[in-house]
């Protein structure tokens, strides 16, 4: 009992001592805060004297008294709305204040808080909440959202970073940290232990600078800004062309090495702008990765535009890279045509000014059991000294318009090997038959002929079912 009583008295004594210390600390805090204006007035007076000596500047003070219950306004910043925004300790709780340039004050209660405030790239104000260990966002209209930090972090200074995110110090957490405007927080430990990182700003060099209150250091932080989406290349389909009702493998390279160097987070494909559908990444987290997907069987013979794009970890989306995929039906229709068109000036890329009649004849048809069609194409444009004869066919697609597209290789004037593609319209080109021919990628260099869909003047094109 005697021991217990002694212990109890000791505890009581410690509690009293603790209360007394707390009270002294609060008194000291209040006195310090009361002293701030005196100290500041003194410093301003000194600065004014210096300024006056240097250039005889005149200053005019206009003081705006805050509403009752407000006290100790702290940091102040310019808002995106043309007003000034500030933090303040107050009763019944701390507040974010807004003051117009003519002095109209509005206050927004945030509870026990205290910290810095800055303007974000998203048009909102962002502030640290030291006591609540949160980052707060307030819209110019006063809507507040709060984001929790790990316990023990105690955020202090905050500034807008070069990357469009907000950066802040964690006084007790010994971190600097980033919060995206969507509220995603990443912490970066400060190398010096117990450095008490406090004030932070963006320097004239575009880097972040912060103060280590507990280590007598000023620190520069270089933030690598990644605002570009990854580049997609090597989009390929296997097999190509694809038979109807057959699955195909899609693959592409997604690479962020030259667009910020972040890891690729995801890749997506679309078919004729329908999608996006997510793809598999190998490896799953890397700056350069291979995206793959298995495409569901195509039910309709047609030419499809398959596009792939990637996004990186910071959330940047890259441009689509696309490949045209002919889907053929080996049991579908076939196409025949013969006749004449007028080749317009500009179609013959070797003789651009030459125009005149040209003749064509073709057949393209799948033979049972073969994956590529058999057939023949002849095209003669006498004025351009162009005589094209096909050698082989790669694929034939017949669509319901009705229209047939087929591609293969052949020679110009019996020697120069080129690719060709025919687009043949059976009464479906504004009611006419039409012929469209491209002769490209010639061995002798470049493309040779580029005829847009042109109505047939003699003869016809027939798609046979
Ligand atoms: Ca990037």
> What does the pLDDT look like over 314-372, one tens digit per residue?
899 999 999 988 888 888 778 999 889 999 999 999 999 999 999 998 999 988 777 78
- C-alpha 170 to ligand 1 mean position (Å): 28
- C-alpha 277 to ligand 1 mean position (Å): 21
pLDDT of 430 reads 93
- C-alpha 287 to ligand 1 mean position (Å): 9
pLDDT of 26 reads 43
β pairing state of 242-243 and 321-328: parallel
- C-alpha 289 to ligand 1 mean position (Å): 13
- C-alpha 409 to ligand 1 mean position (Å): 40
pLDDT of 55 reads 53
Q: Residue 41, SS3?
A: helix
Which residues are within 8 A (CB) of 203 and not within 5 positions of it... i.e. 6 or more apart?
209, 220
pTM of the prediction? 0.55
pLDDT of 329 reads 86
Residue stretches of the chain with pLDDT short of 70: 1-56, 70
Q: How far is CA 463 from CA 106, 203, 292, 296, 423, in A?
A: 75, 70, 36, 28, 12
Q: Give the DSSP letter of residue 348.
A: B
pLDDT of 2 reads 35
- C-alpha 185 to ligand 1 mean position (Å): 19
- C-alpha 313 to ligand 1 mean position (Å): 8
Instruction: Measure the CA–CA gap between 225 and 242, rounded to whole angstroms.
Output: 42
Instruction: Measure the CA–CA gap between 416 and 290, rounded to whole angstroms.
Output: 37
Q: Which residues surround ligand 1, an ion (CB under 5 A)?
A: 226, 228, 256, 259-260, 262, 312, 316
Instruction: Measure the CA–CA gap between 360 and 437, rounded to whole angstroms.
Output: 10
- C-alpha 180 to ligand 1 mean position (Å): 16
- C-alpha 341 to ligand 1 mean position (Å): 50
Q: Residue 49, SS3?
A: helix
Q: Quickly tell me which residue has 């320097």 as its tokens.
A: 203
- C-alpha 260 to ligand 1 mean position (Å): 4
Which residues are within 8 A (CB) of 241 and not within 5 positions of it... i.e. 6 or more apart?
325, 326, 327, 328, 394, 395, 397
- C-alpha 238 to ligand 1 mean position (Å): 28
Which residues are within 8 A (CB) of 181 and not within 5 positions of it... i.e. 6 or more apart?
120, 121, 122, 124, 164, 165, 166
Q: Quickly tell me which residue has 């073709």 as its tokens.
A: 362
- C-alpha 227 to ligand 1 mean position (Å): 6
- C-alpha 333 to ligand 1 mean position (Å): 47
pLDDT of 302 reads 82
- C-alpha 359 to ligand 1 mean position (Å): 52
pLDDT of 25 reads 40
- C-alpha 123 to ligand 1 mean position (Å): 24
- C-alpha 440 to ligand 1 mean position (Å): 35
Instruction: Measure the CA–CA gap between 423 and 337, rounded to whole angstroms.
Output: 11
Which parts of 223-355 are beta strand (E)? 231-238, 242-243, 248-255, 264-271, 274-278, 280-282, 288-295, 302-312, 321-328, 334-343
pLDDT of 128 reads 97
pLDDT one-digit tens code per residue, 380-438: 999 999 999 999 999 999 988 899 999 999 999 999 999 999 999 999 999 999 999 99
- C-alpha 288 to ligand 1 mean position (Å): 11
pLDDT of 317 reads 97
- C-alpha 280 to ligand 1 mean position (Å): 19
């Amino acid at each position: 009992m005697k021991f217990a009583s002694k212990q109890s008295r000791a505890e009581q004594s410690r509690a009293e001592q603790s209360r007394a210390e707390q009270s002294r600390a609060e008194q000291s805090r209040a006195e310090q805060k009361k002293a701030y204006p005196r100290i500041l007035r003194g410093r301003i007076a000194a600065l004014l004297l210096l300024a006056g000596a240097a250039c005889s500047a005149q200053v005019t003070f206009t003081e705006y008294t805050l509403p009752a219950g407000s006290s100790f306004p702290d940091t102040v910043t310019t808002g995106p709305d043309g007003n000034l925004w500030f933090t303040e300790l107050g009763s019944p709780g701390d507040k974010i204040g807004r003051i117009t340039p003519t002095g109209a004050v509005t206050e927004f209660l945030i509870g026990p808080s205290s910290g810095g405030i800055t303007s974000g790239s998203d048009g909102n104000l962002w502030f640290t909440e030291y006591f609540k260990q949160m980052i707060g966002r307030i819209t110019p209209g006063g809507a507040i959202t709060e984001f929790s930090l790990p316990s023990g972090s105690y955020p202090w200074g905050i500034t807008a970073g070069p990357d469009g995110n907000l950066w802040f110090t964690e006084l007790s957490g010994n971190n600097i940290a980033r919060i995206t405007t969507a509220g995603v927080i990443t912490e970066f430990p400060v190398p010096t232990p117990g450095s008490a990182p406090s004030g932070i700003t963006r320097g004239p060099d575009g880097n972040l600078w912060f103060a280590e209150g507990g280590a007598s250091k000023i620190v520069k932080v270089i933030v690598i800004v990644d605002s570009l989406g990854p580049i997609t290349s090597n989009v390929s389909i296997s097999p190509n062309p694809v038979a109807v009702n057959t699955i195909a493998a899609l693959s592409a390279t997604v690479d962020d090495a030259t667009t910020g160097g972040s890891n690729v987070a995801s890749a997506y494909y679309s078919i004729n702008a329908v999608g996006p559908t997510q793809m598999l990444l190998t490896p799953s987290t890397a700056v350069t990765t291979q995206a793959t997907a298995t495409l569901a069987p195509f039910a309709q013979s047609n030419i499809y535009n398959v596009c792939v794009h990637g996004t990186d970890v910071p959330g940047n989306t890259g441009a689509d890279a696309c490949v045209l995929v002919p889907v053929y039906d080996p049991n579908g229709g076939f196409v025949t045509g013969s006749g004449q068109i007028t080749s317009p000036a500009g179609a013959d890329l070797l003789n651009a000014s030459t125009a005149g009649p040209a003749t064509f004849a073709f057949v393209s048809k799948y033979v049972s059991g073969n994956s590529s069609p058999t057939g023949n194409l002849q095209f003669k444009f006498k004025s351009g000294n162009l005589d094209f004869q096909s050698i082989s066919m790669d694929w034939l697609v017949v669509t319901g318009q009705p229209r047939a597209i087929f591609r293969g290789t052949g020679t110009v004037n019996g020697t120069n090997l080129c690719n060709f593609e025919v687009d043949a319209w059976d009464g479906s080109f504004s009611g006419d038959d039409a012929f469209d021919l491209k002769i490209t990628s010639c061995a002798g260099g470049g493309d040779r002929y580029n005829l847009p869909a042109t109505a047939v003047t003699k003869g016809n094109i027939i798609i046979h079912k």
